[in-house]
Homo-oligomer: A and B are copies of this chain.
Amino acid sequence: MPVMPVAVETFILDPNHQGTLQRQLQDIVTAGILEGRFRPGDRMPSSRGLARHLGISRITVTLAYTELVANDYLSSRGRSGYFVSETAPRPPVVANAAAVPGHSKVDWSRAIGRRTVASPTPDRPEDWRRYRYPFIYGQADARLFDHQNWRKCALQALGARDFEAMTSDSYGRDDPMLVEQIIRLILPRRGIVAHGDEVLVTLGAQNALWMLAQILLTRSKTAVVEHPCYPALRAVLQQAECTTLSIPVDGNGLPPDRVPRATDALFITPSHHCPTSATMPVERRREILSRADRDDFLIVEDDYEFELAFATSPSPALKSLDRSGRVIYVGSFAKSLFPGLRLGYIVGPAPLIEEVRRLRTLLVRQVPGHIQRACAYFLAHGHYDAQVHKISRAYRERRSVVEAGLQAEGLTIAGSTKFGGSSLWMKTPGDVSARVLANRLRAQQVLIEPGGPFFDDGDDPGTFYRLAYSSISVADIPEGIKRIGTESAALADRPMAR
């Protein structure tokens, strides 16, 4: 962190202050230091500048500074000016929150009119990068990401030619270059044909699902989801206040005959069920579409991770079979590029897209311009394809090493995708608790993700976990799996630990 100049604007005189001007200046500085806002090494404003800013005499400032030097709040470095002393008193550790400036007399439990459901998050330490065997899901891998070309494209998008794309308030319009790339480069691979007014850029898939739930669902409507299910989707639907029904999936995904006639919107992950990885066969897809036609419900298809198809070609998206315009497709760049980018998209009929755009305008006005253009260049220059190819090759290798290890350890895969993906859905041996297993493995540098958050409250069998290979090096996989195997076996032998 460079030396921080303390701005003159920090000095605001209080007309009701009881002491002298000099005293008031000293108080502002000591308060700044004791509250931790000015830190050792920070440079104070020049006496001339501060005096002019406050409309007071320069000698007053100099006297205040001199006094502060005497008390070791400041130090003087001759002509360089005054700085917060390296040995200045430190801010006290505040024990009583009520005594700090941030205290509020408001009864927030009453003032907050609408509470948000907390999104369940995977049980994962914040410093997961420091673990040797992180079988965790959904983060970018620095070893695989084409950082250099991303930087080039981002830099190109920072250029003078793209000034307007980066800086403008676009009044709700998307970057036309990114929309074009999505339509021409991404969607055809999923068998989807779309016009410009049928695509909307979102701040990731979560943002897409949230907006669709807000628009399509109300208290009187019924949403149907798979069970188990992406946890943030359940939270999103709770927020929309609709009725939500969960339907258990089997090895072929959602059974169409279980979808009730009264459904208004069905949320599914047909190509790669989250989290069991089941792929829905084409007959089921057609069956779901014909039921949707018969019962007049909408389908929201979350097609996450379709890019990571390293084993076989993924089946075309459900949307590609849709002849009635009732499938709304949600895609994301979180897995193929990186989650911190926050870029995704919705493909759907124009009247719906128009409505979502209106909501997005109210929410955030628009998606930040620069990231849209940087992504458009990355796609247009062919780096996206190379990137997906590179990730896929690496995942294929990791996956085969993972599978070999699991077989050697006699561990049970509960679900996996034929085409690829970045994780496996695992079942512990016997009734071993996935949470207990995860906790014990963590002490051995191994991170796995217990499956609890994917289940409805009370419905968690407690014995499933997700094992992802998107953030672990291939070399570390065998030892990591071995530790999982050893620990699983040890727990299975001790019924008490279940």
Contacts and interface: CB of A to CB of B under 8 A. Distances in A.
A305 to B, nearest CB: 14
Contacts of A116: 215, 355, 358-359, 361-362
A385 B22 CA distance: 27
Interface residues of A, number: 122
A358 to B, nearest CB: 4
Contacts of A340: 165-170, 366, 368-370
A35 B166 CA distance: 30
B361 A119 contact: yes
Interface in A37-55: 37, 39, 53
A160 B146 CA distance: 11
A179 interface: no
A376 B320 CA distance: 43
A1 B298 contact: no
A138 interface: yes
A449 to B, nearest CB: 13
Contact of A364 (B126, B164, B207): B207
A155 interface: yes
Contacts of A32: 188
A184 interface: yes
Nearest to A105: B324
Contacts of A12: 191, 316, 320
Nearest to A5: B382
A216 to B, nearest CB: 6
Interface in A130-160: 138-140, 142, 145, 147, 150-151, 154-155, 158-160
A375 to B, nearest CB: 11
B111 A216 contact: yes
A106 B189 contact: no
A242 to B, nearest CB: 8
A215 B214 CA distance: 15
Contact of A362 (B236, B339, B342): B236
Given A112-B215, A129-B164, A140-B163, 7 more contacts: A9-B189, A101-B193, A106-B326, A111-B264, A150-B158, A155-B155, A232-B365
Interface of A: 1-2, 4-7, 9-10, 12, 32, 35, 37, 39, 53, 100-106, 108, 111-119, 121, 126, 129, 138-140, 142, 145, 147, 150-151, 154-155, 158-160, 163-171, 183-185, 188-191, 193-195, 197-198, 203-204, 206-207, 210, 214-218, 220-221, 232, 235-236, 239, 264, 293, 296, 298, 313, 316, 320, 324-326, 334, 338-342, 349-352, 355, 358-359, 361-371, 380-382, 385
15 contacts: A9-B313, A12-B320, A32-B188, A35-B193, A37-B183, A106-B324, A106-B326, A112-B216, A112-B352, A113-B217, A168-B338, A168-B339, A207-B363, A232-B365, A340-B370
